[in-house]
Amino acid sequence: MADSDSQYLYFEPLVQKNRLTLSNIQTLAIWATGATSGILGIDGWMGFAFFALSWILISSLICYVKARGSSHLFFKDGIREIFVSSLFGSLLTYILVWTLFYGLVNIYE
């Protein structure tokens, strides 16, 4: 019963605004990360390791800087929403930007 009551503690338009802000920050950061790895010429599994480390860093910064360490106040799923919610979509965006910049910069080396 406590779980069904907790869903009414959040004002849905503000939760949606928080999700949109989270998505925008993550997308811009992943674009920058993909461009960086492509320009630096990182390839293979090191590129995926670079993504994993960047994702952990980006999500941690969002949690502690933007959400002030209290993610449960801004999102229904708390910290899980910051770290897991758009992981797969961000990975695909990273691969797209990574290969684009790798091809633009390192194709003739």
**Residue 67: which residues within 8 A CB-CB, separation 6 or more?**
73, 74, 75, 82
As a residue count, the chain comes to 109
Question: Which of 69, 75, 72 lies closest to 21 in space, CA to CA?
Answer: 75
- Domain extents in the chain: 13-106
CB half-sphere exposure, 48, CA atoms < 13 A:
4
Per-residue pLDDT of the chain (109 residues; tens, 9 = 90+): 455 555 557 778 888 898 899 899 999 999 999 999 999 999 999 999 999 999 999 999 988 887 787 787 888 888 888 888 889 999 999 999 999 999 999 887 6
CA-based end-to-end distance of the chain: 62
This model's pTM is above 0.85: no
Contact (Cβ atoms closer than 8 angstroms) between residue 35 and residue 97: yes
Any idea what DSSP says for residue 42? -
Contact (Cβ atoms closer than 8 angstroms) between residue 34 and residue 94: yes
